[in-house]
Structure 1
């Protein structure tokens, strides 16, 4: 018999003792969202310090634009290789503990970047960090789906995925401003202590029972159902789609059958190819084309992007919530249209030779593209069963990271081939962003049916699993 939650439970993300009904916006509270938000933010800040400090790194070591792109590409390639195993692990073991260990390790490895004596060692530390940085993604996304119901998922995924872009802006600022004031090594070193503190918060976060929230929603009870105890989040007596996950090949075959996931993955891979490739080089473009210093370029580009992406993601979560259930595949419709409009504005921005007009168009591009952030990831959580969400998000992130890995080096290589013209490399990636919007819209006709099938599969065929033994032994 699986025990229900005791009064001695401690930690963050604990549900009320009486249980949950699935009708609450945050049945486990908002602490999980805050902690996972901070995890994502610290992750991206550390990763994109190199973007803001890139002119300083090139000045010290004299490497080419192609190698400058490899600073971002090498970590992403290794991270992509680690993603599917990371999804496999996150479907089988304690996810909060996994994230805590990973964040603690990358905090320590960051110190290696700060003290690297030569470029080769610096590049190796960045590559190793790419593996650590991407392992927490499947576990974090899987946790959000077990902490928050579908009506809240667009909002919470919006905030957490927002860190990917807000962290880019803040990391770029940190790399440029701190690097210019104190040296680029201090820009990396200042992330070590915050990273260890974030790891401790993750260790304190309570692991939810995998798939229990889906079962509660499927039952739609009038009274709260008590939360069962769980050390790993995987229960052997769960109904279909909830308990111990099947073998990895079975999981991958199941993931391939989810058409919404297929289209959204391809769309986000192409989108990331364009966005990562272009926005990674924006500070360098401003220094070359508009004669700004490294600190000025990183601060200006990052503040504009940060404001636009934050407002775009928040608006996207709101409009996606309004369209979800009201329009067929409403979340994906909002995402696809946002990507089309955002890509068009980016093309206009790259054609401008006035700094104010350029940054204004960049702001509009970032705002509209960000509408897709909360809606695409919430859609994946809706159409994949609880016991395979880790591997589902791993496949998604594998393609997204793969696209992002190619972007910076493609722009750098084309720039080298055309005499240092970053604009030529950026224009080459614009078509990929337009096609990304098409793929997201292709997934729209399948979304409602596949999301409904997840809830149907979570419906128990007997009393709630933690009460089954009691029911079976009852004298009545």
Structure 2
């Protein structure tokens, strides 16, 4: 097992950038990720207001949430591939401007159809930000921090969701739901401007690793030579799939928790959004701590990444199944908090798995495939499936069923763990021979 961990460390030599530079890149890229998810989850805070004003069904509400994740899933791969070739920083800035302008479009929508189109373009803008942003972050840090960085960076999604829900609920209660969308759009545009000034392609290029040949900095990438590399191992396929299935649970909770608190706890929009934001904050803290714990536990035994992912899936399943079997009350809320702490915990381990099983030159594209699985299998399907179930059996009963997806994720991680050591050895072999 220790030999396998050593192979992980040799797949990518330590960068030569300064610690201050690395963390400044992380902070700014993380800040834009916050804005990304603030724009995405402003909608869920105002679900009750839209439902009342436009007389929408739960299926329609779920579709307004799922359309963003659907576009992210469909477009993450091609847009990340373009970013690897065109320039990651330029791509990140363009994405932020697009999703912010589309969020302004949500603010002026007159009906469900217009809102759906605007949300579609929010998804287009956000499609590749997570994959390209994480690739930029991973490029300036050493390999042994990958699970921590993957979990911590992607926790920006939870923190952004939390800020978006809480702030939007307050703004909507005082100024109406249109201003909630407008506020998130302004935040995104301001942060995109700051990123444009501070982070540039030239600064990133000047901090490339000294042992990475310049000829490999921007390789010729085609689908013919890319696809076999992205799916070169059985382990990485199970990592993609397990992560996506697990996030079906996370996507459902993020989308429907404010509505659940309003319907079953009788809370006003601002109060429900604020409490939902606290739960999402718990989710973000769990992503960071689970990633850090995974790095510590698996430092000398690489397959333990898979063991930790399995443990996080099972822990979220048990907590949430018990929670939604209980009537509304303090005990239910406590168990929901425990479940949400673990539900995104698989992001750190799976991010590290994907990075370790693919070459650094295509990390943005590899992470895009991971994001595609996360969005199509999880974040897109979860909210709309829950909405369809809620229209038929009620929201509480729908949320009783959705956590069972975590068991499917755990089974996929169990299978992937069997192949991980041999796949790492096979991937590292050509490099060692050269």
SS in 1 for 2:189: helix
Among 252, 261, 272, the alignment partner of 1:277 is 252
In structure 2, the partner of 1:435 is: 408
In structure 2, the partner of 1:32 is: 25
**Aligned residues of 2:40 and 2:68 also touching (Cα < 8 A):** no
In structure 2, the partner of 1:297 is: 272
In structure 1, the partner of 2:309 is: 335
Shift in Å at residue 159 of structure 1?
A: 1.6
d(CA) in 2 for partners of 1:284, 1:43? 22
Superposed CA deviations along residues 419-462 of structure 1, whole A, max 9, x for unmatched, are xx11222233222111112212322233345456666656795x
**Aligned residues of 2:254 and 2:280 also touching (Cα < 8 A):** no
In structure 2, the partner of 1:473 is: none
SS in 1 for 2:221: coil
Shift in Å at residue 125 of structure 1?
A: 0.3
In structure 1, the partner of 2:66 is: 73
SS in 1 for 2:139: helix
Among 348, 353, 356, the alignment partner of 2:327 is 353
In structure 2, the partner of 1:387 is: 361
**Aligned residues of 2:42 and 2:181 also touching (Cα < 8 A):** yes
Mark the structure with the bigger radius of gyration.
1
**Aligned residues of 1:25 and 1:149 also touching (Cα < 8 A):** no
Unaligned runs of 5+ in 1: 1-19, 217-227, 229-234, 462-476
In structure 2, the partner of 1:344 is: 318
In structure 2, the partner of 1:7 is: none
Among 316, 325, 343, the alignment partner of 2:299 is 325
In structure 1, the partner of 2:36 is: 43
**Aligned residues of 1:76 and 1:127 also touching (Cα < 8 A):** no
d(CA) in 1 for partners of 2:68, 2:344? 24
Superposed CA deviations along residues 175-205 of structure 1, whole A, max 9, x for unmatched, are 3222112100111111222212221233231
d(CA) in 2 for partners of 1:326, 1:25? 26
**Structure-2 change in CA distance of 1:23 and 1:102 (3 Å):** closer
**Aligned residues of 1:245 and 1:387 also touching (Cα < 8 A):** no
d(CA) in 2 for partners of 1:310, 1:136? 18
d(CA) in 2 for partners of 1:154, 1:26? 18
d(CA) in 2 for partners of 1:457, 1:37? 35
Write the mapping of 1:394-473 to structure 2, written as runs, cut at 5 A: 394-403=368-377, 404-418=379-393, 421-451=394-424
SS in 2 for 1:195: helix
Write the mapping of 1:32-431 to structure 2, written as runs, cut at 5 A: 32-203=25-196, 204-207=198-201, 208-209=204-205, 212-213=208-209, 215=211, 235=214, 237-238=215-216, 243-306=218-281, 308-403=282-377, 404-418=379-393, 421-431=394-404
Superposed CA deviations along residues 280-311 of structure 1, whole A, max 9, x for unmatched, are 111111111121112111111221331x2233
**Aligned residues of 2:390 and 2:397 also touching (Cα < 8 A):** yes
**Structure-2 change in CA distance of 1:125 and 1:426 (3 Å):** same
Shift in Å at residue 21 of structure 1?
A: 5.7
Superposed CA deviations along residues 365-414 of structure 1, whole A, max 9, x for unmatched, are 11223432222112211221022222211211111111211111111111
Q: Which structure features the higher share of helix residues?
A: 2
**Aligned residues of 2:172 and 2:178 also touching (Cα < 8 A):** yes
d(CA) in 1 for partners of 2:200, 2:142? 17
In structure 1, the partner of 2:8 is: none
**Structure-2 change in CA distance of 1:294 and 1:27 (3 Å):** closer
d(CA) in 1 for partners of 2:314, 2:29? 29
d(CA) in 1 for partners of 2:85, 2:74? 19
**Aligned residues of 2:14 and 2:141 also touching (Cα < 8 A):** no
**Aligned residues of 2:100 and 2:184 also touching (Cα < 8 A):** yes
**Structure-2 change in CA distance of 1:347 and 1:402 (3 Å):** same
d(CA) in 2 for partners of 1:343, 1:210? 46
Superposed CA deviations along residues 327-369 of structure 1, whole A, max 9, x for unmatched, are 2412221121011111110111111214211110011111223
d(CA) in 2 for partners of 1:348, 1:21? 44
**Aligned residues of 1:90 and 1:138 also touching (Cα < 8 A):** no
**Structure-2 change in CA distance of 1:389 and 1:201 (3 Å):** same
Unaligned runs of 5+ in 2: 1-12
Number of residues of Structure 1 aligned to a counterpart in Structure 2: 418
Shift in Å at residue 215 of structure 1?
A: 4.3
Q: Which moved more, 1:366-375 or 1:139-148?
A: 366-375
d(CA) in 1 for partners of 2:200, 2:24? 10
d(CA) in 2 for partners of 1:311, 1:367? 7
d(CA) in 1 for partners of 2:387, 2:153? 29
